[in-house]
């Protein structure tokens, strides 16, 4: 007897190169069968996915979900899981001084799977608080004062099951160098924001991640993918060749239509599609991962490419490709069920510029570890 059978859906699983109608059987939190014609008689629950798309549960590589630990973080249950993301990576909301509370009060009780990057700064992203605060200016440009590599390595050692890498964000190039040193000593990957380019890229190795790929910030140190002539900086092509992962990281300031279009025209596609969900982005312009995926349908990526960049590829980046991001029998039973709506849909970038798309992915069902959660 199956615990759950999902019937008649169009299954898209890039990990197995599947795009066809199949049924999925689930028992004890694992996928047990994937084929046409599974007998659902006696199953405890059945989802009729006729006319719908079924994918592995979405994997979002850039969120901020240390809810009530740091101000910028969102509730992962409401903002991530209910919108189709069954696994997320918190992108450095906390550092070695405040990670313990994040683990105890958010990660461990959560129904969705939360992995984390430890911010190279010991207090994480505490500078994003309420109101017009002046004290955060004390942090900028003082990387050595707010970074403790020895303590960072100890925090990673104690939490290897959850902390998968190190995050550098927002500050000086010395911070990138220190983050590289820590990542090498910890034998983990580094996620860096797409600033101080091309200098930052020179610190990135195979398996590391550059996020905020298509931002349009061009002020002082905030330069990114394109040069002043809107040509992709050659160092990005070199980074791709050596296996650096290019991540969207949409957020409230890091996705501009024109930058994405110029990048895609010149051959820079995102390896992974992520949201950078936080208190300043979940009510727009990001909303959720399916909306961000839909923007890339508008930009010309195929449905299979968009699904792969939101499931299979991020699971590989995390080193969890046999557990999540796949519908192979034996994998964790995480599923997202979509309706691909056809019509006219308004999408905006971080500058509130509008584009009209003809397709939009809308979540209808979410299954986490075999449990129907939405």
What's the alpha-carbon Rg for the chain, to the nearest Å? 20
In this prediction, what percent of the chain has a pLDDT beyond 90? 90
**Per-residue pLDDT at 126:** 84
CA dist., res. 180 & res. 168, Å (int): 9
Per-residue pLDDT band for 250 (boundaries 50, 70, 90) equals very high
CA dist., res. 54 & res. 31, Å (int): 13
Predicted confidence (pLDDT) at residue 242 exceeds the cutoff of 90: yes
Q: Given 3-state DSSP classes, what are the helix, strand and coil percentages for the chain, each rounded to the nearest 5?
A: 25, 30, 45
Beta bridge partners of 27: 30
Predicted confidence (pLDDT) at residue 221 exceeds the cutoff of 90: no
Half-sphere exposure of 256 (CA within 13 A, CB side): 17
Whole-Å CA distances, 15 to 23, 177, 183, 315: 17, 35, 28, 10
Question: What is the average pLDDT score of the chain?
Answer: 95
**DSSP label at residue 247:** B
Q: What is the pLDDT of residues 101-125, one digit of tens each?
A: 999 999 999 999 999 999 999 999 9
**Per-residue pLDDT at 363:** 98
Predicted confidence (pLDDT) at residue 169 exceeds the cutoff of 60: yes
Half-sphere exposure of 353 (CA within 13 A, CB side): 11
**Per-residue pLDDT at 38:** 97
pTM over 0.85: yes
Per-residue pLDDT band for 219 (boundaries 50, 70, 90) equals very low
Per-residue pLDDT band for 54 (boundaries 50, 70, 90) equals very high
Class of domain 58-317: alpha beta
* 3-state secondary structure at position 101: helix
CA dist., res. 340 & res. 353, Å (int): 23
Burial class (CB in 10 A: 0-12, 13-18, 19+), 5: buried
* 3-state secondary structure at position 220: coil
Whole-Å CA distances, 37 to 22, 40, 58, 240, 365: 8, 9, 25, 42, 21
CA dist., res. 67 & res. 71, Å (int): 8
Complete DSSP assignment for 50-92 = TT-EEEEPEEEEEE---TTTSTT---HHHHTGGGTEEEEEEES
Q: What is the pLDDT of residues 135-165, one digit of tens each?
A: 677 776 666 778 999 999 999 999 999 999 9
Question: Right CATH number for 4-55+331-342+358-372 from 3.30.565.10, 2.60.40.420, 2.30.40.10, 3.30.1660.40?
Answer: 2.30.40.10
Contact 198, 221 (CB under 8 A): no
Contact 367, 44 (CB under 8 A): no
Q: For the chain, which residues make up each domain, given as ranges?
A: 4-55+331-342+358-372, 58-317
Per-residue pLDDT band for 172 (boundaries 50, 70, 90) equals confident
Beta bridge partners of 193: 211
**Per-residue pLDDT at 138:** 74
Tokens of residue 115, six digits:
């992995």
Alpha helix segments (H runs only) across 214-343:
234-241, 257-265, 289-298, 303-310, 312-317
């Amino acid at each position: 007897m199956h615990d759950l059978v999902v019937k008649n859906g169009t299954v898209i699983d890039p990990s197995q190169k599947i795009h066809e109608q199949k049924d999925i059987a689930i028992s004890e939190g694992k996928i047990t069968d994937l084929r046409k014609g599974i007998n659902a008689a006696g199953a405890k629950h059945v989802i009729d996915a006729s006319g719908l798309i079924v994918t592995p549960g979405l994997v979002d590589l850039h969120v901020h979900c240390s809810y009530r630990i740091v101000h910028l973080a969102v509730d992962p249950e409401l903002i991530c899981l209910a919108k189709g993301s069954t696994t997320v990576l918190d992108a450095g909301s906390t550092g070695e001084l405040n990670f313990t509370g994040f683990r105890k009060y958010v990660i461990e009780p959560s129904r969705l799977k939360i992995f984390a990057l430890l911010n190279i700064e010991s207090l994480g992203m505490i500078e994003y608080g309420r109101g017009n605060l002046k004290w955060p200016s004390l942090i900028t440009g003082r990387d050595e004062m707010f970074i403790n590599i020895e303590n960072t390595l100890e925090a990673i050692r104690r939490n290897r099951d959850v902390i998968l890498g190190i995050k550098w964000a927002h500050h000086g190039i010395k911070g990138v160098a220190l983050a590289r040193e820590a990542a090498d000593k910890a034998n983990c990957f580094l996620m860096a924001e797409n600033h101080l380019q091309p200098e930052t890229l020179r610190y990135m190795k195979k398996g590391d991640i550059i996020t905020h790929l298509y931002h349009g910030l061009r002020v002082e140190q905030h330069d990114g993918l394109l040069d002043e002539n809107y040509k992709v900086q050659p160092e990005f092509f070199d980074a791709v060749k050596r296996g650096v992962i290019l991540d969207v990281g949409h957020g409230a300031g890091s996705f501009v239509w024109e930058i994405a279009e110029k990048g895609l025209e010149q051959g820079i596609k995102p390896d992974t599609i992520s949201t950078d969900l936080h208190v300043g982005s979940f009510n727009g312009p990001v909303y959720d991962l399916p909306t961000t995926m839909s923007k890339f349908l508008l930009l010309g990526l195929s449905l299979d490419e968009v699904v792969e960049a939101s499931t299979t590829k991020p699971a590989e980046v995390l080193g969890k490709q046999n557990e999540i991001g796949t519908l192979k029998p034996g994998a964790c039973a995480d599923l997202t069920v979509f309706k691909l709506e056809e019509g006219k849909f308004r999408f905006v970038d971080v500058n509130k510029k509008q584009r009209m798309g003809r397709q939009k992915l809308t979540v209808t069902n979410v299954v986490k570890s075999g449990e129907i959660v939405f």
